[in-house]
Chains A and B, each alone.
Chain A
């Protein structure tokens, strides 16, 4: 079975532009979470979606938005890009919502490396 896939692998944008990142979870997984990982730091939680509904949101501005589709794939959108948005954006899938972590593990994709110039 394929793992979590993300596209694109790398992306270069300029300040003020908009970007859409895509994620396909492991087959059968209904939950997708998005994380931002700045170089040298641990991942920071952005969103979690479960069964197409937002279940959690981290401390990110409204420029960040996401959605989950009926096939459980997900998009992360970032508007009005800033230099500080340059990071590795990670998608993680799990079989259940993260409110039952004892029974549930996250599997990460390879990430999308976003560079904002």
Chain B
């Protein structure tokens, strides 16, 4: 069974602090996506990484795909209250499958 474990599960920080969320698996994925989900809404895609070792930046968010394409991290610099939400990683493209495997989620709360 393919699993994506995210850590930490919950995170509460003050505005202006930095944080890193991790997404780990024993499986290799051909791509990995990060989403943010607000309560009562569907996940919104933040980024897709496809190459081992790839780093992508989206304003204050930095995403990295592990060299072996089994893990990923999301780093937020100078967090703001608007960053509050559920962060989900999703791995896709393992051989012979058409589905995306979602991580367990990291619930982030940024306090003003």
Measured in the bound complex, the distance between the Cα atoms of B29 and A40 in whole Å is 24
Give B residues with C-beta under 8 Å from A. 4, 6, 30-31, 33, 35, 40-45, 48, 50, 88, 90, 92-93, 97-105
Pairwise interchain contact B43-A43, C-beta atoms closer than 8 A? yes
**A98 contacts the other chain (CB 8 A):** yes
Residues of B within 8 A of A92 (CB): 42
Pairwise interchain contact A58-B99, C-beta atoms closer than 8 A? yes
Q: Can you list 30 A-B contacts with CB-CB less than 8 angstroms, sorted by A residue number?
A: A40-B105, A41-B104, A42-B6, A42-B88, A43-B90, A43-B102, A44-B102, A45-B99, A45-B101, A45-B102, A48-B98, A48-B99, A50-B98, A56-B98, A56-B99, A90-B42, A90-B43, A92-B42, A98-B93, A101-B31, A101-B48, A101-B50, A101-B92, A101-B100, A102-B31, A102-B48, A106-B100, A108-B35, A109-B42, A110-B42
Interface residue count for A (Cβ, 8 Å)? 30
Pairwise interchain contact A108-B44, C-beta atoms closer than 8 A? yes
Residues of B within 8 A of A35 (CB): 102
Q: Within A9-51, which residues are at the interface with B (CB < 8 Å)?
A: 33, 35, 40-45, 48, 50
